[in-house]
Each structure stands twice: as structure tokens, then as C-alpha cells.
Chains A and B, each alone.
Chain A
Amino acid sequence: MKRRFFIQRFSQEKGSYWQEYVIDCDPTWVVLDALEAIHKQDPSLAYRRSCRHGICGACAININGKNRLACETRVANLPEKIRIKPLPGFPVIRDLVVDLNLLYQHIETVKPYLITQTPPPEKERFQSPEDRKKLDGLYECILCGACTSACPTFWANRNFLGPTALLKACLFFMDSRDEAKTDRKAILNSHPGLWQCHSIFNCTEACPKGLNPLRAIVMLRKKILRGK
């Protein structure tokens, strides 16, 4: 099946422009397969990819106006004309490759690691299945950046922590083993993020893993307001 791909290209030398590629796609193909086929014809095309099946988060791009993983988007489910752009909201390095350093910095700000003071027991710390269940919907994030890229508040304010970092913050806030809640609360209160979110829901719509960063933000707000 023939598909027309319109790809937004960018390089320092040539600036920004659209390029069309007509590709004969196999019905089993995902957009990443099409990008690989284009790359074979035109080795100048730059994009990121690694795992090919939706767990590494490298290949998030904008396909027909939506942030998605190239490796999980079936070509057969798309119209004949397919417009591909880099993730919006981040500086473009080249073609579909964007600079995600700001995303990574915001994640680092929320201390994305378990903090404990009590010395660990000889074996594992106990955590009830109920407490562990509270991490579901939070721990599965693949750091692809699709949600933060879709967030208008982040577009307007580069210091806004954004949904990716806030989801991470919520993960450790909800972990029954974590002993740094006071510290985490102080971080969230002193950075634009938790209280600046306008509940636009773009993040939730954009997440390729079906996670709900806005729900995490609301959970965090409740936790902090209740002083827990």
C-alpha cells in the first residue's frame, strides 16, 4: 500500500523545510518501519529509535498532529497522507531529533529516586500488595516526553516542571518505602509545576502508554494539601 509521507526536515545548513517521500508500505508496518525505509533511500534523514516495540521511549514524534511513538503507530491505521514533525515544544537538533535536555533536567529536579533514612533490613523491605498497587499507572513511564511536549503550560513557561517530571514525583510520593516526603513537598512547592497546571488534559491524551499524568498531579495536590 502506497503512503505519502510529508516530513518536516531541519538542519543548520538548510533551515526548516518539508520533504515528501512516497513509500510502498507493508500492511504490518509501523511508522518506524516507514522511516527506516525512507532512511535507506535518503541516509540524510535523522530520527531516534532503539527498542522498536514501545518500551524505550526513543522514537516519540508528532504524527498527523498527535504525539506518538513511531514504533507503535500502525501505518495501515493512518490516512494516505501522513505528516510527520518532531515533538513540539523542544528545540530541534536535526529533522525529527529534538533536544530533550530540559525535560531531563526537570525530571532530575524532582529527585527521581527512592530516598530512605532507615537502614534497610537484611532481606527486602516489606510492601503490601495494596501499597504496591498505588505505584501502578506511575512506574510505567518511559520518559518519551510526549506528554510534556503536548503541554501548553510548558510551551509558555520553560521552567514549568511539566507532566513527565510530575508523574515521576508522584511515583516516589506514593511509594510506601520512601522517607523523603517533606523534602519532596518542598521541591514541589518551590518550583513552577504542581500549582501552575491548568488541567488541560493534553498530557493524558498524548501518553502512548495510557498513563494519566493529570491524575498524578491531582493526587499530589491532595496529598500536599492534606499535609500527608
Chain B
Amino acid sequence: MVTHRHEIVIVGAGIAGLAAALEAAMAGRDVAVVSKVFPTRSHSVAAQGGTAAALGNMEPDRWEWHFYDTVKGSDFLGDQNAQALFCQEAIDTAYFLEHIGVPFSRTEDGRILQRYFGGHYSDFGQGPPVRRACLAADRIGHVMLHTLFGQCLRYKVHFYSEFLVTRLLMHEDGCAGVLAWELVKGEFHLFQAKLTLLATGGYARLFQVSTNAAINTGDGMGMVLEAGLPLEDMEFVQFHPTGLYPWGFLISEGVRGEGGHLLNADGERFMQRYAPAKMELAPRDVVSRAIQSEINAGRGIDGKPYVYLDITHLSEEVIKEKLPQIREMAIKFAGIDPKKAPIPVAPSAHYSMGGIPVNVDCEVLADGKKEVVPGLFAAGECACVSIHGANRLGTNSTMECAVFGRRAGKRMAKLAEKTRFLPLPEVQVKMGQEEIKALFERGPKVKVGEVREKLQESMTQNCGILRGKSQLKRQLDILQDLKSAYKNIGLKGLPVAYNLALQEALELKHMLNLAEAIVRGALARTESRGAHYRTDFPKRDDKNWLKHTLVFMQEEQYRLDYKPAVITSFQPEERRF
């Protein structure tokens, strides 16, 4: 088995991973990025509408307003120390991204162009919406990712593409590195690192209809659970209001930012009944629930589970200049020119607010509270700082990846000098090897795809936008059955080189473990907050639930713990839009 030694090993090559890699490499450190796909295939590439920073290029804006919106958007569950820092650093980070080459769209006077997005208003929520989303047409993720990748090449970051990391290697003194499987050759590789960063993204593929790439299976979070470390706030799953029906592909909130209307079967702009002041620009949890309620009330188009997103009143020029990718997708997939006909949309699983608990320097917390795991970091969607609390505002995720990716990179660069390599724990390496060997030795009694489909269907049905106690309990039973079925998955007789089925089997293991973490958190949380809506507990309960869920897994047994949300500036208030 080949052993690679790098001071810093980053797992995942999305915006967070590459921002960290770039900062550490610019500081002169030896950095490797290990990713199961070639970097520009990472899901960050799919972000569309914009990235948040209170630059005030269009009208006055302040980071404090962005801070307030992020707090309120999070339904007061976010940690306000982290949220304040995020909104301040977002401004510098937007300029940094411009400096390294991101081709932002421009204002007439040559500054970064910004557009409206849901949940972003002026004057501490009292004023009109403010244009805060820095855009590059509707391809913000693509330009950020490609730019960061280019700069990483310039600073000689080592890339190991199509290497699937299967296990964290934990020494008693901290993280010693990771074990990876090279997909192309079908071989194990050991990565020994002084410092390891997880930037593996989210898990929205746990659901049947999802905006996410096929690769978004939550591997990093799954490995953390397996290592006996906690995950935070897993019950908060964001459903994007406008996935292209029936596929679920992302139709950017930027479409509503440019003036798009949501219409039901009666042609009514139904948001006036749910968020009369902010209408289509209310936060995502509010809009998704509104759409779902319309559908449930039989007001979906032709009685089907979707509504219309209408931009026929926008000019051809705005559509082509500012929403070219949306136009292309509507034409290619739905056969609809959005200038001529409305786009069919329905909520689609999009984002995991929860994740690996970290402090603001992205250091992973062993107890989920204070105690740092030496040498282990997490950033981006797989981490929970917590900026997004119970609901994320649009455009805050790409910026979170950039801000905290950079913070992680700088922190690791600083620590690298005085940190030593730890010996790789042989027992764990052996266990990792045995796992794959066993899969190849077992006959294929059960197929990966079958178990995965049942998981996705049942999670959507029982743990989706609206959830209740009996559904969640049923889902726990279903998960036990699926976990038993998983043990009968085998790959006997299949070639080892580029074995997609092996990759999917390893991903599915994490998906099953994460599903249970989500359901257990959701079942315990007897209130509704942000994206977590309990039909049997429809009200927010600050007295009992203004706290983060922590979930641990040990030998397949789950344990919950809690920690209070950090409140520094804004006391919880009723959330009206």
C-alpha cells in the first residue's frame, strides 16, 4: 500500500476545501487535496444565484444588517458570535475572490454587481430588500470553484482526484490522517497528515427529489460519526422552494430576486397569504412550506405536486444576461422557454444546516461543545459552526465555504510548523481494508440501488418538509430494516478498477447512519423551528428548544446531547415576513 505524507490533507475539493488549500499553500505549506471526483465536478459548481456580502454596491448596506437577517433567517438557532464574524469577513472575502480572478458581473461603474435574494433586507429587517448577492450571471458556484482550482494549481497544491476517503485514522493524540481507495486503479492509499480538514459537503441525496449532485452523500459526516465524534443539528434539512419539476434541479432563488412570481393552479400569487410583506423573497423554509401547503390543498398545477415560477413578465434581455443557465435548463429539460411559459417547480432537498460541530477556527469539537480534537478540522456544508441554525439564507452557503475555508487554511498553516506527524493506527487501517475486502467477497444478495431507493423514498415520505411523531417512528423501523439489508450487499465477481458499485456501497453506509441521526434528532425535537416542522408541534418553543442537538453513534447505538445556542446581540422574536 502506498503511503503519502503531507503536512495538510484536505478531503473534498469544493469551495471550502479549495479555499482552505489555497490559503495554506499561499502560506507556503505542503497541501494535498483528496477528492472522490475531479475538483471541478464538486457540487459547489452548481451554486447559481450569488454569494452574500454586504458590499453596498447597489444601495447602502451594512454587515450588521446581514448579521440580523442571518440570525432571524436561522430562526434564532445560529450561534451569534459566529454569525457576526461571518458577516464581517464576508466583505473581505468577496474582494479576495475578485482579486484572485472570479469574473463577477459588473455594475455600470465597474464594481461587483449584486442582486436581491430571499431573506436579505435593510435596516435590521425593517427596511426594503437589499441587493447583497454578488453574482456572475447565474453561475456563482462555477466561477468560484474554477477560479479557486486554477489558483490552487498555481500554488502547487497536490491533487489526488477520484480517491474515495473511507476512514479517518484516529490516534489517541488526534487525527493522524485518512485511508483512501483510488477509484481508477482500485487500490488503497494511506495519507499521513499533521492536520486533516474535512470539506466533504452535504447529504441531500438522502432524499428522493434533490437539487444535489449524485456525490452528495455526506461521507465526511458519516466518517465522523463512525469515529465516535458528534454531529450537530442534523434534523435541520433545507428544502429549496424551487426545484425544476419533476427532476428537482436547482432553479435559483435569483429568479425570484430578479422579480419572478410563484403561482398556484388558480393563477394566484399565493405568497401573499403566507408572507404578505416579503412575498417570494421570504426565507426558504417559509416559501417551501407555502408551496407544500398549496400542493397539499389541491392547488398544484393540474392537481400535480408542483406550482409555477413565472418570469414571462421579465425582459428577454434580463433573462438572457442574468439567468442564462436557468433559461438553458428550462429549455433543455422541461422544453420550456421561460420568456413564453412559466417554469414548473416544487420543493427539493437542498442543504444540510447541521454537520460536524466546529469552533470558529474550524477545529472539530470532540464533545460538540469545547474540547478540540487535535489535528482535525471541518469547513463548508459538512461543518456546523453554526451560521445557519435552523434555516439557511440563500447565498450564505457559498460565502460560508469561502470564509471558513479560508479560516481553516490560515489556521492550519499557522499550526503546521509546530505540529508533528502521528503514527498511523494499524488496527484502524486493517479494519478499513477488511471492510472493502468483505464487500468483494460477499455474493450480491441485495443490490445497492434497491436499498438506496427505499431509503430516499422513505426519508422523503417520513422525514421531509412536514414531519410528525408517528411518521418519524415508522422511519426508525424502516431504517433498521434497511441497515439489515445493507449487510447483505456484496460485490463478488465485479472488477476492482473504477468500481462505481463499491463507491455507492460505501456511500450508502454513511447515508443510512446519517438518516438515523436526522430522524432521532427530529423525533426528539418537539417544536417547529426553521426547516424542521413538526405537524404535531407547530410552534417554536424557545423555553425548551433554543439549543443545538448533538448526536453520537457508538456500536450502532445513538445518544443525544444538547448545548445552548449562543446569543450575543439579538433576542429571539416572532419571525414574520
Q: Could you tell me the distance between the alpha carbons of A40 and B447 in the complex, rounded to whole angstroms?
A: 8
| Nearest Cβ on chain B to A67's Cβ, whole angstroms | 16
Q: Given A46-B499, A127-B110, A129-B108 in contact, is the A51-B46 Cβ separation under 8 Å?
A: yes
Contacts of B499 in A (CB 8 A): 46
Say yes or no: B494 contacts A44, CB within 8 Å: yes
Q: A113-B154, A114-B101, A132-B105 are in contact. Are A142 and B40 (CB under 8 A)?
A: yes
Residue of B55, B103, B106 most packed against chain A (CB within 10 A): B103
On chain A, the residues within 8 Å of B318 by CB distance are none
Q: Which of A38-54 contact B (CB under 8 A)?
A: 39-40, 43-54
A132-172: CB near B (< 8 Å → 1, else 0) gives 10010001101100000000000000000000000000000
Known: A12-B497, A93-B498. A55 touches B95 (CB 8 A): no
B147 contacts the other chain (CB 8 A): yes
Interchain CB contact under 8 A, A53 and B333: yes
Assess the A112–B150 pair: CB atoms within 8 A. Answer: yes
B38 within 8 Å of A by Cβ? yes
- Range for the number of chain A residues in contact with chain B: 35 or more
The stretch among B77-85, B324-332, B366-374, B464-472 that forms the contact with chain A is: B324-332
Residue contact A56 to B46, C-beta cutoff 8 Å? yes
The answer to whether A125 touches B142 (Cβ under 8 A) is no
CB–CB A111/B106 < 8 A: no
Q: Contact check: which of A30, A47, A56 meets B45 at CB < 8 Å? A: A56
Chain B, residue nearest A171 (CB): B103
Of A43, A123, A132, the contact of B494 (CB 8 Å cutoff): A43
A146–B104 Cα gap in the complex (Å)?
Answer: 26
CB-CB under 8 A from B104, the residues of chain A are 124, 132
What are the residues of chain B within 8 A of A99 when measuring CB–CB? Answer: 184
How far is the CB of B157 from the nearest CB of chain A, in Å?
A: 12
Query: Residue on A with the closest CB to B444?
Result: A43
Inside 8 A of A58's CB, which chain B residues have their CB? 37-38, 41
- Chain A residues near B213: list those with CB within 8 A: 50-52, 56
Chain B residues 499-529 with CB under 8 Å of chain A are: 499-501
Q: Given that A51-B213, A175-B101 are contacting pairs, would A112 and B153 also be in contact in the complex, using a CB cutoff of 8 Å? A: yes
Question: Which of B136, B247, B498 has the most CB atoms of chain A within a 10 A radius of its CB?
Answer: B498
B99 is an interface residue with CB less than 8 A from chain A:
yes
Instruction: Kindly identify which residue among A52, A128, A143 contacts B214, using a CB–CB cutoff of 8 Å.
Output: A52
- Which residues on A sit within 8 Å (CB–CB) of B491? 43
Q: Which residues of A from 1 to 50 have beta carbons under 8 Å from B?
A: 11-13, 28, 30, 36, 39-40, 43-50
Evaluate contact between B101 and A44: CB separation under 8 angstroms. no
- Which chain A residues lie closer than 8 Å to B328 at the CB level? 54
B522 CB to nearest chain A CB (Å): 27
Q: Let me know if B477 is at the binding interface, CB within 8 A.
A: no
Choose among B41, B249, B332, B450 the residue that contacts A56 (Cβ–Cβ < 8 A): B41
Q: Is A72 an interface residue (CB 8 A)?
A: yes
Knowing A43-B494, A47-B500, the reply to whether A128 touches B143 (Cβ < 8 A) is no
Please give the distance in Å from A137's CB to the nearest CB on chain B.
Answer: 11
Q: Which residue of A lies closest to B96 (CB)?
A: A120
A193 interfacial contact with B, CB 8 Å? no
- Expressed in whole angstroms, the Cα–Cα distance for A58 and B215 within the complex equals 11
Distance between Cα atoms of A128 and B447 in the complex (Å): 55
- Neighbouring A residues of B447 by C-beta, 8 Å: 40, 43
How distant is the Cα of A131 from the Cα of B500 in the complex, in angstroms?
44
Q: Which residues of B contact A108 (CB under 8 A)?
A: 153
Q: Are the C-beta atoms of A11 and B247 separated by less than 8 Å?
A: no
Tell whether A39 pairs with B449 under 8 Å between CB atoms, given A12-B495, A55-B142, A113-B147. Answer: yes
Q: Mask for A166-202, Cβ within 8 A of B = 1, else 0?
A: 0000000001010000000000000000000000000
A97 within 8 A of partner (CB): yes
Task: Closest A residue to B153 by CB, please name it.
Answer: A108
Please report the C-alpha to C-alpha distance between residue A116 and residue B184 in the assembled complex, in whole angstroms.
Answer: 37
B residues 86-106 touching A (CB-CB < 8 Å): 94-95, 98-101, 103-106
A192 to B183, CA, bound (A): 32
Alpha-carbon distance between A127 and B112 when the two chains are bound, in angstroms: 9
**Is B43 in the interface zone, CB < 8 Å from A?**
yes
CB within 8 Å of A: which of B135-160?
136, 139, 141-143, 146-147, 150-151, 153-154
Would you call A57 and B40 a contact (CB within 8 A)?
Answer: yes
Closest to A97 in B: B498
- The reply on B246 being an interface residue by CB < 8 A is yes
Q: How far is the CA of A144 from the CA of B107 in the complex (A)?
A: 31
Judge if B556 is at the interface, Cβ distance under 8 Å. no
How distant is B443 from chain A, measured CB to nearest CB, in Å?
12
Q: Does B487 contact A (CB under 8 A)?
A: no
Query: What residues of chain A lie closer than 8 Å to B246, measured between beta carbons?
Result: 28
Q: Which residues of B23-39 are within 8 A (CB) of A?
A: 37-38
Docked pose: A43 CA to B505 CA in angstroms: 11
Query: In chain B between 403 and 452, which residues have their CB closer than 8 angstroms to a CB of chain A?
Result: 444, 447-450
> Is the CB–CB distance between A175 and B494 below 8 Å?
no
A72, B100: Cα distance in complex, Å: 31
Contact pattern, A 85-122, Cβ under 8 Å of B = 1, otherwise 0: 00000000111010110001000100111111000101
Instruction: With both chains docked as a complex, state the minimum distance between the C-beta of B14 and any C-beta of chain A, in angstroms.
Output: 11
Residues from 238 to 260 in B contacting A, C-beta threshold 8 Å? 246-247, 249-250
**Residue B111 is within 8 A (CB to CB) of chain A in the complex:** yes
| A113-B101, A124-B111 as given contacts; A44 in contact with B495, CB under 8 Å | yes
Q: B147 and A124: CB pair below 8 A?
A: no
Which of A100, A111, A122, A143 counts the most B-chain CB atoms under 10 A from its CB?
A: A143
- Cross-interface CB contact of B184 among A28, A40, A93, A140, cutoff 8 Å: A93
Closest chain A residue to B449, Cβ basis: A40
Q: B266 near A: Cβ within 8 Å?
A: no
Asked whether, in the complex, the Cβ of A126 is within 8 Å of the Cβ of B498, the reply is no
Smallest Cβ-Cβ distance to A177: which chain B residue: B101
**Pair B249/A124 contact, Cβ less than 8 Å:** no
- A132 CA to B110 CA in the complex, in Å? 9
| Neighbouring A residues of B99 by C-beta, 8 Å | 116, 120, 124-125
A28 and B247 form a contact (CB under 8 A): yes
Interface centre among B42, B109, B142 (most CB of A within 10 A): B142
Which of these, A13, A56, A97, A116, contacts B40 with CB under 8 Å? A56
Q: Which residue of A lies closest to B216 (CB)?
A: A50
Expressed in whole angstroms, the Cα–Cα distance for A120 and B98 within the complex equals 9
Assembled-state Cα–Cα distance A23/B106 (Å): 48
Residue ID in chain B nearest A47 by CB atoms? B500
Q: Measured between alpha carbons, how far is A28 from B332 in the docked complex, in Å?
A: 11
Q: Which chain B residues border A28 with CB–CB below 8 Å?
A: 246-247
User: Could you say which residues of chain B place their CB within 8 Å of the CB of A48?
Assistant: 37, 41
A-B contact pairs, 23 of them (CB 8 A): A43-B444, A43-B500, A48-B37, A50-B41, A52-B247, A53-B46, A55-B139, A58-B38, A72-B333, A93-B184, A94-B498, A100-B38, A113-B147, A113-B153, A113-B154, A114-B150, A124-B98, A126-B110, A127-B106, A127-B110, A139-B103, A142-B142, A143-B146
Which residues of A are interface residues toward B (Cβ below 8 A)? Answer: 11-13, 28, 30, 36, 39-40, 43-58, 72, 74, 93-95, 97, 99-100, 104, 108, 111-116, 120, 122-129, 131-132, 135, 139-140, 142-143, 175, 177
Can you add 10 more A-B contacts, CB < 8 Å, to A108-B153, A124-B112? A12-B497, A50-B213, A93-B497, A94-B498, A104-B38, A111-B154, A112-B150, A114-B100, A126-B111, A175-B101
Give the 6 A-B CB pairs with smallest separation, nearest first: A114-B101, A113-B150, A126-B110, A43-B501, A120-B99, A40-B449
